[in-house]
A and B are shown apart, each in its own frame.
Chain A
């Protein structure tokens, strides 16, 4: 089968899975079987796309042409492949985890849950392999809409309100800013293709391009740059697997991925460095990193704390993209993967604690390490990766980002990165440390034991992944390097 057709398969497979999931809704075992097989199949498909990309091939496939000269097109390129690899691999792990979590937690409407999950994955693949900005926008919006039922899964008033914030912010930024920026780009440059040197160079003055750039960066609300970040904490009302895969990996990474794409392929790195707006946006990203970390410290609810931590970490990627040096962009791309493994581990652990003890607050988790040693150990590993300490994968991406700030001579931002790492320690490590070394509260009943086996398997795999990425960062580095050599 040709590479171009395989691309189509990457989008079609999860959609087909969604249909099969709905059909087999009456028998949970078949339904979950379909999910697992499709997840594995998707990952295999994405893997099979890797060798040609490394060889420099860029197969493309036109799907339709809604506007004359502006088609919906899929194209394979290194950055997209990286994102797709991470998302599809973690879908397998999350599916295993979901089976344990959803059953142990007695969640209702599980068929809808698995089906929407599959559709969201298809949309994430669409974002990853979009061949132009229009295609990316379409997939981006499908991703927003397909995750809405997952966020509001509980159907309670709280979920309804959270859903409003989620949809309201994501839709108004994408419709209000991103769509405007796209049509504007289209009308001044006559193309929305992704071009390694950018498509906007010299097409308009610095002021217009600056305005456009700001519209793009704020328009991509999924990147959760302040002040458009409120949707992410709101989305935490969703079941934990959703928070883990979608709101730590697929959805938020689709956001920062889009920002990277815009910087590299729409504006071009050279143009980004010359724009008047870039410096201000850099400061905003720096401010988001610090402020979100500070807010995270005040949150006692573990998922809320992790959500603010995600907001902070996403701005690392934005920062790298805005620095627009080779090293910084490599750091950004790698951080997409590194943070994904770290944060999904943390969310898995939060979910495991919830299933096993029904506890959501950090202060209630004292002494839990003795009852749930595997979970708490994994939380420790994930935390180290987020902080950026060896021997965890997060070390590498932070290393490159720090080098990037030095290259661009942004000493203030270097300080921000250092400060943020300290803050990360302050809000993440107390959880496992107290878990292991504090005395448990009285009400921690004797019956508490580790979460169901599927949950544990998933937790162990992602935790080991964090370590493996420290020892073998080579493939990621090579893919990231390809982005700029193209």
Chain B
């Protein structure tokens, strides 16, 4: 009975839990409740993934209204993987939140914080699971609006302006998406994704559909921070509370990327997007530019969160690069990196959050001597950083391997070379952090800085170990990514 309704529960549970948090009135209770909900959604996501892998795709008619009139939830390997990573990150971040939120957010706002967090989670899960184009927009707005509010809760007053900046850019993106979806509806009379996919070829040559495609791609690129539409991201990540940065960095752009995959491959189809429209070269160029410009900028930052934020923009370049190949290996490399990057950045931002908890600073110069004082936290940064560079035995290596393989398959060896140069840039900015932490002597000896509490260390290390585990045993990630890529491209892998 419950098994059958898992797709609905995946979204409804956090959605209903969100206002309940507000009613609990006590921060501790709200945290406990949110954490339990986070774990429950994670469990549901695992069950859904297992079901999809063993029994095939799940179509769920919301409220018993069958498609195309009702809203359909549709779970295939692509969405199941995104559901897993989003709920998984929330399940890791929420236990971490207790201490971090207690320090960074005033007590009267903490209940609101957990409410917004769960709303944001519900929105992202909704984007990943829905099979309806308009419904996707609705969930996108739920997650976006709650994330604007979450970012604005940062201690630094600049959190407000960066949240505002994100609000403007995000709203432009959302409007573009809405215009795109509207145009699609005008031309086809349906909002159901599978229906759209069937009806679009008949009208695909019209200017309206070309326009719709352009609006959707640009709108989603804004949300996923594709260079040069990434301007909102560095500030938002830098000034948001640690927990929010971790959660958004590991999930928000990934979910937007998933939406792009859905629109481009499932609705418009690879044939239309890459042959009729010039999506391939456009994405390729922007991905490579993003990779280099953002990595180069990251090298010159003095704030650790900013370094990691620019690194995120560069890493999104890798994902988009894989997708721009439009081959099974390429797209699966993109999806794989979507998953893997969530693990790396999640671990890194959590470790950095722990450093902030103890030192109250994010500046590289204040990091001096941290290697000695917070050995476990810094060890997490080391492993996360190595993963970001793409050292073997970490997930980063797996991503890089498939990206290079995909580039060579297409015969684009210069692209393969550029990918490798990009990872050397990562080596430079990661090593700046490590050198500051391990080599520089502290300006004044702060004896009171000690190792982060276990409630921060355990979740951080859970993700660090995941970085290593999925770097060695890739049967789940590579298997699902290949299956998903085959599905999106309409070929049997």
Question: Which A residues are closer than 8 A to B by beta carbons?
Answer: 64-68, 72, 137-138, 141-142, 145, 152, 155, 157, 160, 164, 167-168, 171-172, 175-176, 179-180, 183-184, 186-187
Contacts and interface: CB of A to CB of B under 8 A. Distances in A.
Q: Lowest 7 A-B CB distances belong to which pairs?
A: A138-B392, A183-B404, A187-B408, A64-B472, A160-B439, A176-B420, A141-B392
A171 B409 contact: no
Grouping DSSP codes into helix (H, G, I), strand (E, B) and loop, the A interface class, with mixed when no group exceeds half, is: helix
Nearest to B420: A176
B54 to A, nearest CB: 20
Contacts of B423: 175
Interface in B65-108: none
B427 interface: yes
A289 B474 CA distance: 44
A72 B472 CA distance: 9
B136 to A, nearest CB: 33
A132 to B, nearest CB: 13
B478 interface: yes
A138 B391 CA distance: 8
Given A66-B472, A167-B431, A176 B424 contact: yes
A211 to B, nearest CB: 9
A327 B392 CA distance: 35
B424 A175 contact: yes
Contacts of A180: 404, 413, 416-417, 420
Q: Which of A72, A141, A160, A175 has the most CB of B within 10 A?
A: A175
B478 A137 contact: no
Interface string B461-488: 0000000000111110010000000000
A164 B431 contact: yes
Given A142-B393, A175-B420, A184-B408, A66 B439 contact: no
A171 B385 CA distance: 14
A167 B430 CA distance: 12
Contacts of A176: 417, 420-421, 424
A38 to B, nearest CB: 22
Contacts of A152: 439
B421 to A, nearest CB: 7
Nearest to B482: A68
Contacts of A179: 400-401, 404, 420
B386 interface: yes
Contacts, number: 69
Contacts of B478: 67-68
Contacts of A66: 398, 471-474
Contacts of B404: 179-180, 183
Nearest to B403: A183
Nearest to B470: A66
Contacts of A183: 401, 404-405, 408, 416
A64 B424 contact: no
Nearest to B435: A160
Interface in B348-403: 386, 389-393, 398, 400-401
Contacts of B408: 183-184, 187
Nearest to A159: B439
Nearest to B382: A145
Chain B at the A interface: SS class: helix
Contact of A175 (B390, B393, B435, B471): B390
Nearest to B393: A138
Contacts of B473: 64-66
Contact of B386 (A145, A168, A186): A145
Interface of B: 386, 389-393, 398, 400-401, 404-405, 408-409, 413, 416-417, 420-421, 423-424, 427, 431, 435, 438-439, 471-475, 478
Contacts of B409: 187
Contacts of B424: 171-172, 175-176
Nearest to B404: A183
10 contacts: A65-B475, A67-B474, A138-B392, A145-B391, A167-B431, A172-B424, A175-B420, A176-B421, A176-B424, A187-B405
Given A138-B393, A187-B409, A67 B401 contact: yes
A221 to B, nearest CB: 13
Contact of A186 (B392, B405, B417, B431): B405
B275 to A, nearest CB: 25
B482 to A, nearest CB: 9
Contacts of B405: 183, 186-187
B470 to A, nearest CB: 9
A141 B431 CA distance: 16
A155 B472 contact: no
B382 to A, nearest CB: 9
Contact of B392 (A137, A164, A168): A137
A141 B391 contact: yes
A470 B427 CA distance: 45
A183 B408 CA distance: 8
A165 B473 CA distance: 33
Contacts of A155: 438-439
A159 B138 CA distance: 56
Contacts of B386: 145
A217 to B, nearest CB: 17
A167 B426 CA distance: 13
Contacts of A65: 473, 475
A183 B407 CA distance: 10
A9 B439 CA distance: 35
Contacts of B439: 152, 155, 157, 160
A171 B408 CA distance: 21
A179 B389 CA distance: 13
Contacts of B431: 164, 167
A165 to B, nearest CB: 12
A136 to B, nearest CB: 10
A138 B386 CA distance: 13
B433 to A, nearest CB: 14
Q: Counting chain B CB atoms within 10 Å of each CB, which of A65, A138, A141, A179 scores highest?
A: A179
A194 B401 CA distance: 20
B32 to A, nearest CB: 36
Given A180-B416, A183-B405, A186-B405, A171 B427 contact: yes
Residue of B435, B439, B475 with highest tally of chain A CB at under 10 A: B439
Contacts of A187: 405, 408-409
A175 B425 CA distance: 11
A64 B478 CA distance: 14
A133 to B, nearest CB: 12
Contacts of A167: 427, 431
Contacts of A175: 389-390, 420, 423-424, 427
Contacts of B416: 180, 183
A183 B398 CA distance: 12
A65 B409 CA distance: 22
Nearest to A149: B438
A175 B386 CA distance: 13
Nearest to A134: B392
A65 B417 CA distance: 25
Contacts of B389: 171, 175
Contacts of B474: 66-67
A176 B413 CA distance: 12
A152 B392 CA distance: 22
Contacts of B421: 176
Contacts of A160: 435, 439
B437 to A, nearest CB: 12
A186 B402 CA distance: 11
A119 to B, nearest CB: 13
Nearest to B424: A172
Contacts of A64: 472-473
A157 B392 CA distance: 29
A386 B207 CA distance: 77
